[in-house]
């Protein structure tokens, strides 16, 4: 039996030993917490993924014990393997934080920021990333790129406008199905995920593209607009499925099953089954088994990372800002100039009718009884 070779790596001044071949990102995740760089495109269960979004850039301040020279550029931690004696700076590097803020800005440049109407809100990795590393304002003043919504079959909706081109769904289709029908078309800033001709994705495992999508570009049509994820209670459950492991997370309200997803770990990736296989789930489990009776409930699932689902996650970190009077600020110090008093013009809002003082919801009757002028 050969002994496993262990490499010592120091990330943000914390040293651990990991097997040779481990990536910097995996090592950092073993340390956990803030030391783990964010990753929008890398997905450990998908071969070939990573390197594209550039959010996991880190500084290698010492290459290895043998060759201590620092690496000249920031490197992607998801695709850089550790060397013995390597020293890495993530959040302790100003350069990294600066570059990461830049990447977040780039990723959000053409993103619609339609979180209020997006089903992914509350469990969106881009939302997390923006909270952690983004700025409150954008410096982009041009029209954002948009695409038409696209149905990929009866269960999956593609909202390309939100896509950050992580390629995860392409790798998923390549590696989980035997015939990929969607891919990346065009290039540069108009590249898009598409099928070229209207086609539905109907492989039995294609539903997993929804789980790997870090944003709201691929969503579950059987769940769209049905509920907000933070109102739902995630429960681990399983069933005897002939196609997949049948191990899922149910998203319930009361006894009602709103949504079925694969089980995800703290990094948002699909958990392994007890047999050590990635726990991808089939379309039947995901889209068709929406009765509580279909499932054997194991117990509540703890969601450890996601923004809104894990309530209060951000309160301690970014603090809360008290609302203040902003008129003066946005008007360069000028007080608002009253163009007209609505009471002078409106027949409805007469001076003696104060909407705020009407008890309960106001309706036509309220006005009829109070509106002496009309009566």
Partner 1 sequence: MTYTFNETQMAELNRLVAHYPEGKQKSALLPALHLAQESFDGWLPTELMDYVASLLHIEPIEVYEVASFYSMFNLKPVGKFIFEVCQTGPCMISGSDDIIAYIQQQLTIKPGETTKDGVFTLKLVECLGACGYAPMMQVGKVFREHLTKEKVDSIIAEYRATVTK
Partner 2 sequence: MGVKLLIDKANVPGIRTYEVYRREGGYRSVEKALKEMNPESIVEEVKKSGLRGRGGAGFPTGMKWSFIAKPEGVPRHLVCNADESEPGTFKDRYLMEFLPHLLLEGLIVSSFALGANDTYIYIRGEYAWITDILEEAINEAKANGWLGKNILGTGFECNIYVHRGAGAYICGEETALIESLEGKRGNPRIKPPFPAIKGVWQRPTVVNNVETLAAIVPIINMGGEEYAKIGIGRSTGTKLISACGNINKPGVYEIDMTISVEEFIYSDEYCGGIKGGKQLKACIPGGSSVPILPANLLLKTATGETRYMNYESLSDGGFATGSMLGSGGFIVLDEDQCIVKNTLTLARFYRHESCGQCSPCREGTGWMEKILHKIEHGHGTLADIDLLWDIQRKIEGNTICPLGDAAAWPVAAAIRHFRDEFEWHINNPDLSQTSNFGLQHYADPIHVPA
3-state secondary structure of 169: helix
Nearest residue (CB) to partner 1, 174 versus 271: 174
On whether the CB atoms of residues 230 and 238 are closer than 8 A, the answer is: no
Nearest residue (CB) to partner 1, 186 versus 332: 186
Q: Rule CB under 8 A: is residue 182 a binding residue for partner 1?
A: yes
3-state secondary structure of 284: helix
Cα(277)–Cα(289) distance, integer angstroms: 22
Nearest Cα neighbor of 144 from 163, 158, 130 is 163
Tell me which of partner 1, partner 2, none is bound by residue 57, counting a contact when its beta carbon lies within the kind-specific cut-off of 5 to 8 angstroms: partner 2
Beta-carbon count within 10 A of 65 CB: 13
Phi, psi of 211 (to 5 degrees): -70, -35
Q: Rule CB under 8 A: is residue 186 a binding residue for partner 1?
A: yes
Nearest residue (CB) to partner 1, 149 versus 196: 196
Of 46-54, 61-69, 121-129, 265-273, the window that binds partner 2 (rule: CB under 8 A) is 46-54
Q: Rule CB under 8 A: is residue 148 a binding residue for partner 1?
A: no
Q: Rule CB under 8 A: is residue 187 a binding residue for partner 1?
A: yes
Cα(303)–Cα(264) distance, integer angstroms: 9
Q: At what angle do helices 125-133 and 94-109 cross, to 10 degrees?
A: 130
Task: Name which position in 13, 69, 114, 140 contacts partner 2 (CB under 8 A).
Answer: 140
3-state secondary structure of 361: coil
Of 119-127, 157-165, 194-202, 338-346, the window that binds partner 1 (rule: CB under 8 A) is 194-202
Task: Name which position in 1, 136, 197, 330 contacts partner 1 (CB under 8 A).
Answer: 197
Positions touching partner 2 (CB under 8 A) are: 50-54, 57, 73-74, 76, 79, 98-99, 102-103, 105-107, 109-110, 139-140, 142, 164-165, 167, 184, 186-191
């Amino acid at each position: 039996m050969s002994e496993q070779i262990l490499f010592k790596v120091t990330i943000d001044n914390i040293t651990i030993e990991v097997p040779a071949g481990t990536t910097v990102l995996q090592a950092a995740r073993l340390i956990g917490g803030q030391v783990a760089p964010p990753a929008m495109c890398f997905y450990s269960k998908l071969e070939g993924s990573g390197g594209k979004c550039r959010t996991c850039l880190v500084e290698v301040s010492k290459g290895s014990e043998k060759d201590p020279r620092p690496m000249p550029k920031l490197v992607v931690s998801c695709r850089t393997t550790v060397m013995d004696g390597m020293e890495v700076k993530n959040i302790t590097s100003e350069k990294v934080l600066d570059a990461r803020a830049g990447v977040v800005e780039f990723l959000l440049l053409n993103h619609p920021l339609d979180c209020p109407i997006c089903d992914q809100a509350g469990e969106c990795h881009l939302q997390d990333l923006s909270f952690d590393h983004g700025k409150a304002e954008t410096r982009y003043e041009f029209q954002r790129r948009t695409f038409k919504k696209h149905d990929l079959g009866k269960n999956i909706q593609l909202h390309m406008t939100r896509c950050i081109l992580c390629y995860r769904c392409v790798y998923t289709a390549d590696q989980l199905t035997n015939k990929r029908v969607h891919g990346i078309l065009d290039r540069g800033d108009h590249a898009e995920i598409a099928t070229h001709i209207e086609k539905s994705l109907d492989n039995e495992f294609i539903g997993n593209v929804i789980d790997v999508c870090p944003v709201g570009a691929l969503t579950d049509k059987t769940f769209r607009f049905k509920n907000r994820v933070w109102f739902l209670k995630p429960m681990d459950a399983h069933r005897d499925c002939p196609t997949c492991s049948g191990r899922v997370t149910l998203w319930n309200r009361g006894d009602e099953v709103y949504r079925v997803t694969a089980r995800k770990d703290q990094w948002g990736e699909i958990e392994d089954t007890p047999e050590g296989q990635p726990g991808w789930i089939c379309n039947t489990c995901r889209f068709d088994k929406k009765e509580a009776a279909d499932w054997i409930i194991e117990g509540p699932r703890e969601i450890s990372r996601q923004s809104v689902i894990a309530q209060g996650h951000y309160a301690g970190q970014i603090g809360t800002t008290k609302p203040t009077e902003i008129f003066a600020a946005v008007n360069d110090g000028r007080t608002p100039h009253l163009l007209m008093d609505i009471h002078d013009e409106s027949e409805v809002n007469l001076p003696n009718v104060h909407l705020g003082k009407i008890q309960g919801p106001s309706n036509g009757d309220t006005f009829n009884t109070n509106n002496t002028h009309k009566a």
